[in-house]
Amino acid sequence: MTSARAAALGAAFAREAARVAGKDVADVCVSLGRDSRISGEMLLAAAAAGVTSTGARAINFGIATTPAMFMSTVTPDFEYDGAIMLTASHLPPDRNGMKFFTPRGGASKKTISDLIEDALCSLPVVSKDAFSGLD
């Protein structure tokens, strides 16, 4: 996971949370949490930047559990439109990923595929020619 990918996925998820909530993306609020992996703080900041680049609000929960991030979408007085958890669960410490939640639950395989496709469309395309002439 790179910062650019985390930002692109954050933006894609903000748009998805808006669609699910039936709101304009500017009216959406997404909570973000992470586990204790070394890359977590940097990736959370990047994902939050992606969320806010759409006009949505991002709330940093810091180190949190996956269930807590889902609960932030359904607990009275919180009820965020979506939540992102940066974690790789039981994978080695050098790995990291993202879990996505709306009040309906965790993102389906189809939704995740759609988020990835949306995110890929916003990443810059660099051709091999861009590297010619490098020393």
Q: What are phi and psi of 105, to 5 degrees?
A: 125, -165
CA distances from 52 to 48, 71, 97, 105 (A): 6, 21, 19, 22
Q: Is 89 a catalytic residue?
A: yes
User: Which regions of 53-134 does DSSP assign to beta strands (E)?
Assistant: 57-63, 82-86, 98-102, 105-106
Dist. CA 12–CA 10, nearest whole Å: 5
Dist. CA 32–CA 62, nearest whole Å: 7
Q: Which one from 31, 72, 89, 122 is the annotated catalytic residue?
A: 89
CA distances from 1 to 24, 94, 133 (A): 28, 10, 28
**Where in the sequence numbering do the catalytic residues fall?**
89
